[in-house]
């Protein structure tokens, strides 16, 4: 589990001018000691996204994300830069209406799965279930 100090640094960095992938939040960023749910069901508006942010404290941690929707979503796994959390590198991406994504961390840091509704006209419900294994903490849903 990530330490309170590590989560507090991330919360402070996000609160002090986060933009980019943390804007247009669907859910409020929880405080570091909150326990965000590992399951979500919500409607994502056209051209908007939902993102699961998680902190990996040591290599070997694993996050599995199972998702299903009536509409197609573009998804990606990305890692946020340590010095500027607004910057991130996409590691893996694809598009599907359902699937299971498995990530095994090779290094620590703030990682995110993001699903974007590519429809320009319709919102779609999406169900997402995360399974966390090892030294990883779900930080927030945005």
Angstrom distance (rounded) from CA 3 to CA 17 = 23
Angstrom distance (rounded) from CA 106 to CA 110 = 12
- pTM comes to 0.76
The average pLDDT across 74-98 equals: 90
Question: Residue 94 is part of a domain; what is its CATH number?
Answer: 2.60.120.680
Query: CA neighbours within 13 Å on the CB side: how many for 64?
Result: 6
Report the number of secondary-structure helices (H) and strands (E) in the chain: 1, 7
Range(s) of the domain holding residue 127: 4-28+36-141
Q: Which pLDDT value is given to residue 83?
A: 74
pLDDT in tens, 90-136: 999 999 999 999 999 999 999 999 999 999 999 999 999 999 999 99
Confidence of residue 19 (pLDDT cuts 50, 70, 90): very low
Angstrom distance (rounded) from CA 104 to CA 61 = 6
Could you tell me which residue, 124 or 83, shows the higher pLDDT? 124
Confidence of residue 81 (pLDDT cuts 50, 70, 90): confident
Is residue 93 within 8 A of residue 37, CB to CB? The reply is: no
Is residue 57 within 8 A of residue 136, CB to CB? The reply is: yes
- As for how many domains the chain has, the answer is 1
Question: In sequence order, what are the beta bridge partners of 15?
Answer: none
């Amino acid at each position: 589990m990530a330490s309170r100090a590590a989560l507090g640094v991330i919360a402070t960095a996000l609160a002090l001018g986060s933009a980019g992938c943390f804007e247009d939040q669907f859910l409020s960023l929880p405080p570091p000691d909150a326990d965000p749910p590992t399951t979500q069901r919500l409607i994502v508006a056209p051209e908007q996204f939902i993102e699961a942010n998680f902190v990996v404290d040591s290599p070997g941690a694993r996050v599995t994300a199972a998702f299903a929707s009536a509409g197609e979503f573009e998804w990606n796994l990305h890692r946020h830069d340590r010095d500027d959390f607004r910057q991130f590198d996409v590691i893996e991406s694809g598009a599907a209406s359902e699937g299971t994504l498995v990530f095994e961390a090779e290094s620590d840091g703030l990682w995110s799965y993001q699903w974007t509704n590519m429809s320009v006209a319709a919102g779609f419900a999406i169900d997402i279930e995360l399974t966390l294994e090892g030294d990883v903490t779900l930080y927030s849903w945005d």
